Structures are given as C-alpha cells and as structure tokens.
Amino acid sequence: MDCIFCQIAAGALPADRVYEDDDTLAFPDLRPRAPQHLLVIPKRHVESLASTQDDDWAAVAACLRTVQRVARDRGLEEGGYRVVANIGSDGGQTVNHLHWHVLGGRLMTWPPG
C-alpha cells in the first residue's frame, strides 16, 4: 500500500483521528494553512473527483457529511469556513487520494492562489 492516506486510514501511519466512521476519516493537515485545517478522506481509495466512478458516490456523499460534522464540532459554522478539493496537477493535488480540506478560524480571501 503506497498511498499515504490509505496508510493513515488503515492506522499504519499516525494521525489524530478527530472523527471517523465506517466510510470516512478526518484528521489535521500536516501543513496547516489556517488556524483550523482538517482533511476529510474516504477510507476506500479513490484518486480524485476526476476518477470517481458510479460506486464511489456514496463515499463522496459520506465525506461531505463528515465535512459538515467536523466543521460543526469545531465551532466553525457561525463564522464560516472553506472547503477545498484540489484535483490533478493544475488543481494543486499532491496526494492522489480524494480529500477535502476544511479550513477555518480566519478570513479567507478570494480568488485562491
């Protein structure tokens, strides 16, 4: 298994598992870009939204439910937060396992870099 996020999901690499259920996992980003910066991943390996297949959509929906849950648990709903999925090289994706960044705790600017 050479995917970092698959190894984290399997418990073979350490991460602070702030939330998990059968299908999804949330943990802090190693290189936080905001006071609060979590990653939400499906436990099953899906490369990116670009390669999502019909039988992956339930996991995608479960991830978005987890995004909402962790943002709520962390008190981000009132002030707002940003959810980012980087797709492919132009999108800035560096780990080829589908994930959402949940960023909060500061004012986000637009457009992103």
Query: Which residues are at the interface with ligand DGP (CB under 6 A)?
Result: 4, 13, 15, 27-31, 39, 86, 92-95
Catalytic residues, by residue number, are: 99
Residue closer to ligand DGP, measured from CB, 7 or 78: 7
Q: What is the sign of the dihedral through the CA atoms of 73, 75, 80 and 86?
A: negative
Q: How many helices (H) and strands (E) does the chain have?
A: 3, 5
Alpha helix segments (H runs only) across the chain: 4-10, 57-73, 88-91
Minimum distance between the CB of residue 53 and ligand DGP, rounded to whole angstroms? 20
Minimum distance between the CB of residue 100 and ligand DGP, rounded to whole angstroms? 9
Residue closer to ligand DGP, measured from CB, 2 or 54: 2
Minimum distance between the CB of residue 2 and ligand DGP, rounded to whole angstroms? 13
